[in-house]
Amino acid sequence: MQITVEALAHLLNGNVVGNGDVLLHTVAKIEEGTEGALSFLSNPKYEEHIYTTGSSAVLVSRSFEPTKFVATTLVQVDDPYAAFTFLLEKFANPAAQLSGIEPMSFVHENAKLGEGVYVGAFAYVSDGVEVGQNTKIFPQVFLGAKVKIGSNCTLFAGVKIYHECVIGDNCIIHSGTVVGSDGFGFAPLADRSYKKIPQTGNVIIEQDVEIGANCTIDRATMGSTIVRKGVKLDNLVQVAHNVEVGEHTVMAAQSGLAGSTKIGKFVVIGGQVAIAGHLQIANGNQFGGQSGVLGNIVDEDKKWFGTPVLEVRDSLRASAVNRRLPELLKRLEEVEKELKKLKNE
């Protein structure tokens, strides 16, 4: 990135307060700013740093009014955080500049690649694969037969997409993630052994989804496992067969969804949360870390915690009682002794 403050402000539809001719070539935290760097101020608790920052320019909200002298140039925008994110995507993403097919990759003759696609070394693109324009396929990615990948996607090194799975536009999948592996389906037999149930479905991931590193999203037994648009999955997340994850749901690391569970829209799932199979979770619910969900959640927009989950207020009360159990047990034993003594008398 190399751009003047004035040009940057024009790009962001912002206003310059200070020297618009300053040249910017990097980005930095506001407390770690250096000459030529652009920073942003969004959280008021960091305001003190704007008066001492070494950054040449800082993005601020249009309503920001300094209480001290500011040496740096300010760029006033509607939303500093969103504007800074836009700039990082536009200028600081090395993958955006990649294109072409590296010599040591394999692309089947029947595969269809859109304009601007990049395929890294040792990637394998199978028969019947379709890839949209400007998608980046990093080294050692595997795309199985008849996989469909949308436009402007990024598949980082080592991603595996099994046959017939579908990925929408503007998706990001990080290294080590497997999409379309077999669901955990086994039929118990009379001799107490298990017979594998063929997993004949696929996985559909809609647009604007980001999936962290080393996640697993299993294909459906029949039909599709579906991750709806805007979903964000952290690293090490497990989504089992025939699950449906609703729009704009977020899941933190080490969480798992058992088979055939349906998660609503805008659900927030903390780290290490386990949700049992064949459940329905209503829109907007939030689950604290390490919660265990064993039954349907039919009410919308509530907060839950604990195993099995209780509403947060009830869970905190139960925890308070639990902490007092040793004391209560001691008092109960003392009362029993007194009763025994009175009975003997």
Q: How far apart are CA 130 and CA 144, in angstroms?
A: 11
Residue showing tokens 């704007």: 50
CA dist., res. 249 & res. 257, Å (int): 13
Location of structure tokens 């006033």: 76
3-class secondary structure, 77: strand
Helices (H), the chain: 5-12, 80-91, 312-323, 325-344
Residue 278: active-site member: no
Ramachandran bin of 3, using left for φ above 0, alpha for ψ from -120 to 50, beta for the remaining angles: beta
Q: To which residue do tokens 């269809």 refer?
A: 112
Helix ranges restricted to H, 181-296: none
Q: Residues with Cβ < 8 Å from 52, sequence gap 6 or more?
A: none
Q: Do 280 and 298 touch, CB atoms closer than 8 A?
A: yes
Q: How many CB atoms lie within 10 A of CB 257?
A: 28
Catalytic-labelled residue, pool 49, 241, 248, 278: 241
Active-site amino acid positions: 241
